[in-house]
Amino acid sequence: MFSVTILGCNSAIPAHGRNPTSQVLQTQDNSFLIDCGEGTQMQLSKFKIKPSKISHIFISHLHGDHYFGLIGLLSSMSLMNRIQDIHIYGPPLLKEIILLQCKASNSDFSFDVHFHELKENAVIAETNKMLISCFKVEHQIECWGFLFKEKKNPRSIVAEKVKSFEIPASFYEQLQKGDDYITKKGTIIRNEDVTIANEIAKSYAYCADTIYDESLIPIVKEVDLLYHETTYLKDQEAKAAARFHSTTTQAAQIAKQAKVKKLMIGHYSSKYESLDSFLIEAKEIFENTELGTEGTCYYV
């Protein structure tokens, strides 16, 4: 199980008390920051989320509303004497921007920063419990989505059982995957006699800023939670397309066609003070939609 907390849900300009884009995905072991608009460090503090647990930061693209808060967050981590390494994934120029600002302040971070340039759709990071891959999305500039998949093995080993059947440790990984064990004498030890089923591994797809694009459907197929931007309401389809953004209806259509379990929407244009119509319009197409709002924690 993991959770996704929205730190910022507005597009472009902060407005109506809504901040630019940032989300944090929290597992038991790690926190993963997804985009980092201006004010992200204040939002983390407001919602009592510890920056020290953030091990990986994923930046979708270099429009300011998705990364202007990164340098401030890193600087504050350094001022708080962080020592753990941090991994940052993003488009090429990100590293240059951060390092130029370090040079200007004649300072270095108190911890090691590993920059990883996004280049192609691929698995980019792995922790004990999570596999993270990136996928290209269609926006005005180079832009990436991120797919988080829990790595849970389907089955857990029952220690006393494997011991009593004298199954060697070298076979444990196969047991966790569901294989039966065959003894040297040819006896079959059935998997369900030595393991128990685990929760199913959960998944979260973050589609960043994107035009309506059906090529995303196979990538986000059947995820437990899909974040798809809805910068505009459905009557603004032409404007959305011109600016490489999406509408409520379009986000819901992607969710429906990809048969995801739940859709979360966000990245609302500053021209909308009320968000009620966003939820209503998306639900018309895909009932299990949630309005992404700041401070809300979505459990997956």
Residue closer to a second copy by CB (options 16, 177) is 16
If DSSP codes are grouped into helix, strand and coil, which group holds residue 127? Answer: coil
Say which of 29, 35, 65, 179 is annotated catalytic.
65
Lookup: tokens for 192: 């369900």
What minimum distance in Å lies between the beta carbon of 227 and a second copy? Answer: 22
- Report yes or no: 43 and 73 within 8 Å, Cβ to Cβ: no
What minimum distance in Å lies between the beta carbon of 276 and a second copy? Answer: 22
What minimum distance in Å lies between the beta carbon of 68 and a second copy? Answer: 5
Residue closer to a second copy by CB (options 198, 293) is 293
What minimum distance in Å lies between the beta carbon of 178 and a second copy? Answer: 47
Active site residue 85: no
- Report yes or no: 101 and 71 within 8 Å, Cβ to Cβ: yes
- Report yes or no: 111 and 82 within 8 Å, Cβ to Cβ: yes
Distances (CA, A) of 158 to 162, 168, 171, 176, 190: 6, 13, 13, 10, 13
Residue closer to a second copy by CB (options 104, 122) is 104
CA distance 298 to 300: 6
CA distance 183 to 35: 51
Residue closer to a second copy by CB (options 107, 277) is 107
Residue 168 phi, psi (nearest 5): -70, 150
Q: Which residues bind a second copy (CB under 8 A)?
A: 12-15, 19, 38-39, 41-42, 45, 62-65, 68-69, 71-72, 75-76, 79-80, 91, 93-94, 96-97, 100-101, 103-106, 140-141
Active site residues: 65
